[in-house]
Structure 1
Amino acid sequence: MDIAADLILAGALTVAWLAAGLVADALPGARTARELRRRAGTLTLAVTAGAAMFVAIPVVIWMLPGDSAADSAALLPAVPALIVLTTSVRRLTQVRRGASAFLAAPQTPVPPALRAAAAHPLILVPLQVTGLAALIGLPIAGRLVDVPASNVAGIAITVVGAAVVAIGVRAAMRHSRLSLLALAPIGRSRLRLPVDSR
């Protein structure tokens, strides 16, 4: 198996997960319930395509003769992808069901609580970290970096760690801001006792 085939496989994996990360980032920005439902459906398709690539890579490697580095490149995003498939997909399904509740009135603005749920860090962070890890796997697939190389591995771990912290802090701050907006109407409403006119 040649380098071009490895790069094609790793590139397809990277494109699928980077696209999922971008769609997840835009998910809370939907203006109407119909748009939120459409974006959640698109994100589900992107996650499905990314998961399918994890199955396709070993199958293609098995079918084509020769050594391959694509399987080593796919190991990096495998761990965050498992988090996506176990936690993010469940939360994404809840967001899609919440948006589907407004099918009778699709132009309804997205309720603040549903927007906050769409911005939950457990949706955004694992998806973007998986895309980042897949992107870092491209030099491994291109055989520019040997996996056992400790210096490169240390640099890659440091870069990924810093990026994960930055992504996580950004997602948590946005979710916190949107959660406060969802609770703001509750804080404004006050219980008014009837005034005795006697």
Structure 2
Amino acid sequence: MNTVADLILAGALVAVWLTAGLLADRLSAARSARELRRRAATLTALVAAGASVFVAVPVVTGLLPGDSAAPAAALASAVPALIVLTASLHRLSRVRRGAGAFASAPQTPVPPGLRAAAAHPMMLVPLQVTALATLLGLPIAARVVEVPGADLAGIAITVVGVAVLAIGVRAALRHSRLSVLVMAPMGRSRPRVPAGIR
């Protein structure tokens, strides 16, 4: 049994994905285009690091003698991480490119449309759900919870399910609020008709 190695691998997953989830939550709060681009680039690097740790788990456990709980611990967060890699990463690269368009004026405030894109639920929710799911892997890696069929695992999955619902509702409300700001300037300004044309 390699409990220490399992905990190191599970802890690395938690550290990387939890940091990514927290940074994703603050992405739309960037004050300038340069800051948004920097945050988006850091978040992209964290996602790449998280994917690398996923790949490292079976490689490391295959090299070590004895049985390992690390693959089962990593499996808890594999599905949301796959959504991050297929959907969220694409949206994140669009935000990074959009912020990069202001490279000649880096102190430009973030446009409302770009801020709304940085808060899109399909980007935030998978990242934060992956972070929560990696936390589920810690008791599995420590062999406190046996997979499958432990009562504690069922309780943990229920709690995470409620948290996922809360994260989704919060992200949808934030994106909706920021999307309204994109349309607000159009509603406030009316085209002025020159006096000679009236």
TM-score range (shorter-chain normalised) is: over 0.9
Matches within 5 A, 1:39-118: 39-118=39-118
Q: What is aligned with 1:127?
A: 127
* Structure 1 unmatched ranges of 5 or more: none
Contact 2:21 2:131 survives alignment (8 Å): yes
State the 1:150 CA deviation. Answer: 4.0
| Matched AA of 1:66 | G
* Structure 2 unmatched ranges of 5 or more: none
Alignment pair present for 1:21 and 2:16? no
Q: What is aligned with 1:173?
A: 173
Contact 2:145 2:153 survives alignment (8 Å): no
3-state SS in 1 of match to 2:68: coil
| Matched AA of 2:63 | M
CA RMSD of aligned residues (A): 1.3
Q: Tell me how far apart the structure 2 counterparts of residues 121 and 15 of structure 1 sit (CA, whole Å).
A: 22
Q: Tell me how far apart the structure 1 counterparts of residues 72 and 133 of structure 2 sit (CA, whole Å).
A: 12
| Matched AA of 1:71 | P
State the 1:152 CA deviation. Answer: 2.2
Q: Tell me how far apart the structure 2 counterparts of residues 154 and 32 of structure 1 sit (CA, whole Å).
A: 44
Q: Tell me how far apart the structure 2 counterparts of residues 96 and 4 of structure 1 sit (CA, whole Å).
A: 38
Q: TM-score, normalised by structure 1?
A: 0.96
Q: Tell me how far apart the structure 1 counterparts of residues 169 and 4 of structure 2 sit (CA, whole Å).
A: 37
| Matched AA of 2:82 | L
| Matched AA of 1:138 | L
Alignment pair present for 1:37 and 2:41? no
Q: What is aligned with 1:157?
A: 157
* Percent identity for Structure 1 against Structure 2: 70
Q: Tell me how far apart the structure 1 counterparts of residues 101 and 148 of structure 2 sit (CA, whole Å).
A: 51
3-state SS in 2 of match to 1:137: helix
Q: Deviations over 1:129-178 (max 9, x none)?
A: 00100001100000000012242232122111100000001111111111
State the 1:121 CA deviation. Answer: 0.6
3-state SS in 2 of match to 1:146: coil
Farther-moved stretch of structure 1 (155-164 vs 43-52) = 155-164
| Matched AA of 2:111 | P
